Each structure stands twice: as C-alpha cells, then as structure tokens.
Structure 1
Amino acid sequence: MLPVEDDPRDVAYRTLDAFTAENEELDKLLASLSYDVWSTPTPSEGWTIARQVAHLTLRAQDAIEAMTDRRRLLLTVERASPSPHHDADYGGLALANRHPETLLTQWREAREQFESTSHGILEGDISSLPGAGSERLVTIATAYGLMRTWAHAQDIFDALDRPRMPSERLWYVADLGIGMDDPRFTAHGVLPLGQMECRIELASPIGALWIWGDPTAAARLRGTAEDFCLYVTRRRTRWEVELTATMEVEAWMSTAPMLLAPAGRGYGPISA
C-alpha cells in the first residue's frame, strides 16, 4: 500500500531518506552506550542489545545481495523472511559475540552499503529490474528495512528504559502492516486487511489523521499509529495498546503479528 500516485523514483528516494533517518536515530543511541551495556537483555527473549544489532546487520547484508538478483529480490519482498544463508538464530548469535565497537562498525557498513546499492539501482549504475519495476521493489525493500530497524530499536529503547519520541516515519511501518498480503492468512481463515471493506484511521505523532481503505465501510480500525505499529510488530500485546476495531478486523488483528513478526527471530512476544 505504499504510495503509487507519485513518481516511483520520488517515492523510492523519500523512502530511502526515511530509512536513513530511522537508522541514524538508533545509531545515536548505540554510540552513547558503554560497551558493557550491549549485553543487556531486551524484551525479545534470549536477545541482548548486541544480538539485536547483529540481526539488523545480517538482514542488511542479505538485502544487499538480494537487490541485484531479481529472483531473490522478489522472494525477499514477497515473503519478508530471513534468508537461510543469514539466519539470525545462528549467524546473529556468533556476530553478537564480537566486540561492540566491531559490531557497530559492521552494522554501519552494512546499512550504508544497502543505501548505496539502492541509489545505484535507482540511478541506473546497478542492474536489477527494468524501469519503474526496479524503483518499486527498491521502495518496498527499503520500507521493510525501515520497519525492521524501528522494531528492533524499540526493543533496545525498552531494554534501556529510555523514552522514545515517535516520528512520522511510522507511516511506513503502519502501511506495511495494513498492506501485508500473506498466503498464510488463508490458512488461518482470515482475510488480509487490505482486501477487506474496511476503513483504518490512525493518528500520526504530530496529530494528523492517516486514512486507509473505504471511507464508507462498516468495518473500522482506529487508534494511534504508534500503538498500531507496536502491536503489528509484536512489541506490545493487544491489551497494552489502545486500538478499537470491529469484529471483522479483530480476526485480522489476532493473526497479523504472527505473520509480520514471527516469534523466534528477535520478534518474541512481550509479556503482558
């Protein structure tokens, strides 16, 4: 559900700018930490701060490889699942044991390479997909990267008990959550939210109203963008967020986090 009415290149560049800003926010926090703090447990069971950063590093490296391979890029975007070559349960654990300074440097290098690869594709220096198809997929891959960074950063902010100011970049996280169309929904007997006759109204961090769907639909979902994003990425339980939804939407609400944020890869549920 990322914007399609604008020029695809403009959308891609805006998404990259948001991705950069999201990572810079986390970088600023990590750079301020003493090395001993990196071993602090986070709300995702079994994951320290270092493990969270290791996961982000490996996923960025995986995305870089996928960006120049049409088949892998499509698979990465459609499934939004970790590559078997960079499984965070194994590679992430080993990488997390490195010195925090080394890990921080590797994460920075990985995300900077992802950004440069994305710019290279958009500027025609790297061949991936022809024309707007390439721009569209770069946009989606970058938005998923932004969502991943935001969610794992939330774990780190929570582990440190630090306040976090929500930003308008939450739009990308919310849009991906709403637009998710996973075939596993069918297995659960649930219609994807983007296919429902539904109106979604989320209050942005600056007080604007973000709207998706049919304005005349009886099915509704309302709340703040922050609460919605915390829920669909499994950073908060249903009872910890103030979201109101009709019965049809509640069925989707109970299923979506399991698909968007599978447990066991740093997305473990937080105890109520």
Structure 2
Amino acid sequence: MVDLTDLLADLAAESGQLDALIAPLSAADWARPTPAPGWSIGHQIAHLAWTDHVALLAATDPTAFFATVTAAPDPARLVDHGAEDFLAPPAALLARWRAGRAALADALAAVPAGEKLTWYGIRMSATSMATARIMETWAHGEDVADTLGVVRPASDRLRHVAHLGVRTFGHGFAAHGRVAPTTPVRVELVGPHGDTWSWGPAEAADRLTGPARDFCLLVTQRRHRADLALVATGPVADEWLDVAQAFAGPPGTGRQPATAPAGADGARA
C-alpha cells in the first residue's frame, strides 16, 4: 500500500513542476492551442482546476458533487463545460488552481481510512483519488509541454501513473464496449533510473514491456501505440494497447500516429 501522505507529496511535486512551466508564460502563450482540439493551455489548467474542485466536493459534500452532474446541460460534454466554466485570465486562473489543489490535498488527508468517495461511475479511496490527480496533472502537463516544445524530465512519480494504467486494464476494455479478458498480462517497464517496475504473474504468456514513460503516454492517450517503444507479446496484451485508458468515463478518441494528417483528433480526458 502506498502511504497517502507520500502520494499527496508527489501530487504537490507534480503540480509544482507544471506550475513552474506555466507561471512565466504570457497571456498570448496561455491562449496557444494544445494537441487537444479546441483546448488552449488555459483550457488545460482550467480543466485541472475544475477537476480538483469537483474532487473536493466528492470528498467534502457528495450532494454538491452530484449536483454538478445533474445540472450539466450536456453530460457527454461535462469535461468541456467544466474547463470552459473555469476559464479566466491567466493570473486569476493560476491562483484558483493553486488554491483549489491545496484545498483538495487537505480534504483528502482528512478522509477517514477505508471511506470511499463517489466519482464518475465508480467509488474511490482517498489514495486512489490522489493517484488519479497525479495521473491527470502529468497527462495535461504533457499537453502543455508538447505545445511549448518542452521535454520534461521523467521522475519516479510516473510509477503512480503506470500503476493506475495497470489497475484500469478491465476498464479500458469495458469503456470500448469489449469484454475484459481474464488472461493475465505481465507488465515490465523500465523506470526513469533504469530500474524495472513489474505487475502481474511472472509466468504469464501475454506480456507488455517497454519504457515506463511510453506506457504512461499510452494509458493517458497522449501518444498512439505506433509512436511508442512498447512491445506486446500475445493477443490480449496486443489488444490492450488499442483500448488502454487510465481515466474514468467514456472512451477517449486517443491520438493519431505522428504521421497522421494535420487536424486529427486528440484526447482531452
């Protein structure tokens, strides 16, 4: 089990890395389009601020959390509406994101052990929610970094993203309308410092291997499988590469291969 205090420290570090990247940007840079169609850098940060806000409601006021769902004019575009509602001038948006993520960290730290929080279609522990926030912060940070032409150094925090990617194996298949296979898959990833991270039975015939960062880019749908150095052995592992999805909700559109024509869809989740 990962300690919640350690998870919240890693969430703060992941958020801080992205904060340092965007804080010096001009208003024109905040308006630059990112790989997610229709979303600027401002939309990316507004989305994080909005998601922190609804996660805070889930941890402190479930009734108010449910109201955000039932009051949505178009539930299928809930994520887009949230980002649009939270858009603001850069200084105000940055301040809101900072305050919101701090409030969420305090709220998660106060959740009684064993208590589950209601989320979109699932229930999550405080540790799972913190892990999910690390995943989203990293993924949307990648969109921002891609927009700015920056390659961020990988850290061991990727292990949380990879762990969530493995844990959501069945969800990826279900989200795409497929029956989740019962065949086990062995996952062996090379971490940023050359160590091996592994999940699943060592004797499994189906295997997935490669760099941890590539796996994280896959499960957050920030890269197409064709652009990643992941090796799938066996039919189940191979199919997983097509449906992997670490985030909750309906299937994302994913990203087209780097060689795809300009204007191809990207993921916003």
TM range (shorter): 0.7 to 0.9
Equivalent residue number for residue 8 of structure 2 = 16
In structure 1, the residue matched to 2:223 is 236
Greater percentage in helix: 1
Residue 132 of structure 1 corresponds to which residue in structure 2? 114
Asked if residue 115 in structure 1 is aligned to residue 105 in structure 2, the reply is yes
Determine the C-alpha separation between the residues in 2 that align with 1:17 and 1:48: 28
What is the alpha-carbon distance in structure 2 between the residues aligned to residue 196 and residue 72 of structure 1? Answer: 40
- The match for 1:79 is none
Instruction: Tell me the TM-score normalised to structure 1 length.
Output: 0.80
1:26 CA displacement: 0.5
In the alignment, what sits opposite 1:55? 47
Matched, 1:200 2:197: no
Deviation, structure 1 residue 190: 3.5
SS in 2 for 1:88: helix
Query: Separation in 2 of the partners of 1:91 and 1:35?
Result: 21
List aligned pairs for 1:24-63, cutoff 5 A: 24-63=16-55
Aligned residues, how many?
243
Structure 2 residues without counterparts, runs of 5 or longer: 73-77, 118-123, 259-269
Amino acid across the alignment from 2:150 = R
Q: Secondary structure at the match of 2:208?
A: strand
* 8 Å Cα contact 1:44-1:270 kept in structure 2: no
The whole-number CA distance in structure 2 between the counterparts of 1:40 and 1:137 is: 36
Quickly say closer, same or farther: Cα 1:260–1:62, change in 2 above 3 A.
closer
Q: CA–CA distance in 1 between the matches of 2:224 and 2:69?
A: 27
User: Structure 1 residues 179, 67: closer, same or farther in 2, change over 3 A?
Assistant: same
1:105 to 90, 95, 99: 95
In structure 2, C-alpha distance between the alignment counterparts of 1:204 and 1:156, rounded to whole Å: 22
Which range moves more in the overlay, 22-31 or 132-141? 132-141
- 2:179 is the alignment partner of 1:213: no
Q: Which residue of 1 aligns with 2:145?
A: 157
Give the Cα separation in 1 of the matches to 2:193 and 2:249: 26
